Each structure stands twice: as structure tokens, then as C-alpha cells.
Amino acid sequence: MPDKVASTTVSPEAALELLSPTEVRALVNQTDAELFKTFRRCALAVLNTGNNNDNTSEILEQYADFEIRFIRQARGIKLQLSNAPASAFVDGKMIRGIREQLFSVLRDVVYITNEIRNSQRFRLDTQVGITDAVFHILRNANLVRKGDTNPLVVCWGGHSISREEYDFTKETGYQLGLRDMNIITGCGPGAMKGPMKGATIGHAKQHIQNRRYIGITEPGIIAAESPNPIVNELVIMPDIEKRLEAFVRMAHAVIVFPGGVGTAEEILYILGILLHPSNRRIPFPLIFAASAESRQYFDMINEFIAATLGPEAQSKYQVINGECAEVARAVRKGCDQVLNYRRRAKDAFYFNWKLNIPKDMQAPFEPTHESMATLNLSKNQPIHLLAANLRRAFSGIVAGNVKEQGIARIMQRGPFELQGDTEIMSAMDMLLQTFVQQNRMKIGSGTYNPCYRVVR
């Protein structure tokens, strides 16, 4: 059993004045069961930083006795924790960065519940309404900042990668930091931690004061990918689709490192956006980067994209292998082009309003056996819609691998089934089998039981 702290109380760094008396009462009395359940799950993930288990169900079982209670005080609330992970404490006192993340979680969960879902302020059934909600969540977390022209570089990649691949992401982050660029990742381990860790050294050498290491996550994934300790700005988005939109709205460039199905999902998401006819003239640097030893990874991804989406999709990205400094130079050049474009187009530098993200890419996809089996994975549709449906297929596999609800569905009814055009399904099957063989599906080297079956 993991080490635990039997009981402790935690107060925020400053008064939690964003909570109204009504909100405090709701938390203290636990009148909103779903809000409390979501907060407990996300809080446990933050306290569990450094855990190498990516099975949500197992983590929740290990800490089934973890309890969290809200205590009312004059200026807001404080938290009473029971059986919390001992790794979150030093000499009985909670690590400051973890404490900040804990109250960031509370901020976002309360805001999303009260101001986004329950207030009827946002038309979440419309394209404009969803983007507006994404912006307000990010603004409430102080992530969007007017006047800040330092580029924000999104780094995507796997949580289960080799040491050599991790070192490559760290060196790339160092080169980005030297060039005054900040980092956004999914906030977890592996390729999400490496760029941030490298950037800390680059920023320190350049004496850069405003160092930003932004982690964007969502309740379904956070337990499997707890925030790494370098994240100094954390935001919890309501679902995976709004998380992905937050990435691309804030990004001035995207770097993709080797990863597994989650990385493939992210690649297909951004390609679906860039392939939409209305976005073809908007500059958006997209670079696939790997070490010389891992260059075959993007050869494989490139072949998959060629077989499914074709040459137009391949034209949307640049592949750079083995040269971290070259990656950083290409990103910096691309970010400068983005800044110039947004000045000419009178678009905000801190939020990409002009990028058109179609409604069918914003709508939350619930991966069930029925929804997975009926995905349109054929070429008889516009290319950006095929990319969107392929993204949903990979999203379902991520859910079956690491998300509590997805794992439960697989245990109850067996693997998801995927079917479509023979060429597409053959390419998908080959890619997924390679991920399994290279241990990119799960952390560690344990046996992987597939949560999917490709029907040809």
C-alpha cells in the first residue's frame, strides 16, 4: 500500500475570494454530488504527482480511503484531507507547488460547474458558444494575457516513452527556453514534462523572469496523467474536446514528439482543423520532432497519414529528426510569422480567434461500444471530417486504456470494435500494433490487453 498522511488541513496561498457564500455553502454541505466527485478525483491526481501508474481505476482503488472536506472560514474555505498521498508533503507540510495546483483545481471545477454548465450564459450547442466558453475558462485561470508577445509553444507527445526520447524532449525544451519561448503541455510525465524541464534551464540562463509552464488537462485524464511538478499554471477543461481547443487557441506553434494513441489523437485533431478550407491561409507552425534514433516513429506516422488522409495532410507539417536547435529555430521563425499575421489581421496574439474549429470537432464524443462501431472511417467524406472521425477512434482507445469509465466499459463488454475502408483499417491496425510492440500504450513494460479490435 502507498504511504499516506492520515490527516492534515490546507489553506490557500491567498484568500479564495472567487468563491461566493453560496458556493462555499454548496462545497461545505456537498449539495452538488457531481461537483464534489470531480473535485475529489482531480485533487487526488494533483496530490499523486510522480505516480507511475496510468490506470485510473487502480489509482482510485489504492486511495479509496482518501477523503476531502471543506471547512468554512471568514475569507473563504480551507481543506481537510485524510489519507492523502505522502509524496505531496515534506516534513508534514504540503509542497507549495502542489498546494497551488490543488486550489487551481478547485477554482476551475467550481467555475466550470457554476459559470459554464449551470448559468446558461453560454450556448454550448453552438460553435461560437463553445469557443466563448473555452476563452472564459482560460481567462478565469489568468492564462490569456493581453500584451504578452512571448510565444507559447504547445508540446505534445507520449507519457510512456524511452529515456532517450525523454532526453530529446528535454534538450528541445532547453533550446526553446534559450529563445524566449514558453511551454504548454498536457501537464503529465514523459514528453509533457521533458520540454518544461529543459526550458527551465534555458530560461534561467537567459535570466527570463516570466517563465510559463502551462498544463492543460481534463477530469477524465488527469488521474492517469497527474500534473508534473514543473507546471506553474494549471487549468482543468471540462472535456477532451475543449482541452484540445484550448491548446490550439493558445498555441503559436505545436511540436509533436513520439507518443502513443493520445499523441495520434492530437495529430489528427490539428490536421482536421488545418485541412478545413477556411483555415488554409492561416499560418500555424506544426513540427514533428524526434531524435535520430527514433526517426522511424514519424516515418510510421507519415505513412499512416498518407494512407488515410493523403498528400494534402502531409503538407501541413514539417518533420525534423535529431536536431533540437533546428526544431527551436523553425518554431521561433514560425511564431514570428504568426505574430506578423495576427498584427495584419488584427487578431489577438494571446488567443487565436480566427481559426475555424467546426462544431463537429467541438462536440464531446462519448466512446461507447455503439459510438465506436458506427464511426465513419471511410474516404466518402471531406478530408477534414475523416480526420475528425479518426481522432474520435483514437480518443476512444485512450478512454479504454486509462479512463475510469472507458476501462469499466471494456471490462463489462469487451473491446471496442472499429470498422471502415480496408485501406484505412489496415493502416490503423498496423499503427496500433506498432504502438503495442513499442510499449507506447501504457507506462512500464507490463502486458497490454488491447481495449479495441480492428474489423477488416
User: For residue 291, which of 187, 191, 183 has the smallest C-alpha distance?
Assistant: 191
Is position 192 within any domain?
yes
CATH code of the domain containing 20: 3.30.1850.10
| End position of a domain, from candidates 117, 133, 162 | 117
The C-alpha cell at 271 is 490536421
Residues 341 and 374 in one domain: no
Residues 310 and 224 in one domain: yes
Tell me the pLDDT band of 55, cut-offs 50, 70 and 90: low
- Round to whole Å and give the CA distance between 284 and 34: 38
Distances (CA, A) of 180 to 8, 150, 185, 243, 250: 40, 7, 17, 25, 16
Distances (CA, A) of 390 to 73, 221, 361, 372, 384: 49, 19, 11, 10, 10
pLDDT at 61 exceeding the cut of 90 = no
- Round to whole Å and give the CA distance between 202 and 208: 9
- Round to whole Å and give the CA distance between 376 and 429: 16
| End position of a domain, from candidates 321, 345, 369 | 345
Residues 194 and 340 in one domain: yes
The pLDDT value given to residue 132: 96
Range of the domain at 236: 147-345
The pLDDT value given to residue 15: 46
Q: Which of 263-272, 291-300, 320-329, 395-404 has the lowest mean pLDDT?
A: 395-404
Amino acid at 200: T
Distance, C-alpha 420 to centroid of its chain: 28
Residues 307 and 376 in one domain: no
Residues near 388 by Cβ (< 8 Å), separated by ≥ 6?
268, 269, 272, 358, 360, 361
Distances (CA, A) of 210 to 181, 213, 455: 10, 10, 50
Q: What is the pLDDT of residues 184-204, one digit of tens each?
A: 999 989 999 999 999 999 999
pLDDT at 144 exceeding the cut of 70 = yes
Element (H, E) at 373: helix 369-373
Amino acid at 394: F
Is position 234 within any domain?
yes
Number of domains in the chain: 3
Residues 301 and 192 in one domain: yes
Residue 65: other Cβ atoms inside 10 A: 10
Tell me the pLDDT band of 35, cut-offs 50, 70 and 90: confident
Evaluate whether 269 touches 242 at the Cβ level (below 8 Å).
no
Evaluate whether 17 touches 93 at the Cβ level (below 8 Å).
no
The pLDDT value given to residue 14: 52
The pLDDT value given to residue 49: 79
Residues 269 and 200 in one domain: yes
The strand pair at 67-73 and 76-85 is best described as: antiparallel
Is position 351 within any domain?
no
Q: What is the pLDDT of residues 87-131, one digit of tens each?
A: 899 998 999 999 999 999 988 988 898 888 888 889 989 999 999
CATH code of the domain containing 288: 3.40.50.450
Is position 132 within any domain?
no
Evaluate whether 208 touches 201 at the Cβ level (below 8 Å).
no
Q: What is the pLDDT of residues 318-376, one digit of tens each?
A: 999 999 999 999 999 999 999 999 999 999 999 999 999 999 899 999 999 999 999 99
Question: Which pTM was predicted?
Answer: 0.92
The pLDDT value given to residue 34: 81
- Round to whole Å and give the CA distance between 339 and 329: 15
Is position 353 within any domain?
no
- Round to whole Å and give the CA distance between 229 and 223: 15
Element (H, E) at 77: strand 76-85
The pLDDT value given to residue 418: 95
The pLDDT value given to residue 64: 86
Q: What is the pLDDT of residues 259-290, one digit of tens each?
A: 999 999 999 999 999 999 999 899 999 999 99
The pLDDT value given to residue 31: 67
Write the DSSP symbol of residue 365. Answer: P
Is position 139 within any domain?
no
Is position 131 within any domain?
no
pLDDT at 316 exceeding the cut of 70 = yes
Residues 209 and 304 in one domain: yes
| End position of a domain, from candidates 314, 345, 376 | 345
User: For residue 151, which of 349, 352, 353 has the smallest C-alpha distance?
Assistant: 349
Q: Quick one: what percent of the chain has pLDDT higher than 90? A: 65
Is position 265 within any domain?
yes
The pLDDT value given to residue 51: 66
Residues 338 and 196 in one domain: yes
Residues 174 and 276 in one domain: yes
Q: Which of 66-70, 264-268, 375-379 has the lowest mean pLDDT?
A: 66-70
pLDDT at 223 exceeding the cut of 90 = no
Name the average pLDDT for the chain.
90
Residues 293 and 372 in one domain: no
Q: Which long-range contacts (CB under 8 A, 24 or more apart) does 324-329 make?
A: 324/168, 324/171, 324/172, 324/174, 324/175, 324/289, 325/175, 327/172, 327/175, 327/255, 327/287, 327/289, 328/172, 328/175, 328/176, 328/178, 328/179, 328/181, 329/179
Evaluate whether 335 touches 285 at the Cβ level (below 8 Å).
yes
Residues 230 and 278 in one domain: yes
- Round to whole Å and give the CA distance between 455 and 413: 16
- Round to whole Å and give the CA distance between 94 and 89: 4
Residues 236 and 325 in one domain: yes
Q: Which of 57-61, 177-181, 207-211, 421-425 has the lowest mean pLDDT?
A: 57-61
The pLDDT value given to residue 142: 93
The pLDDT value given to residue 352: 95
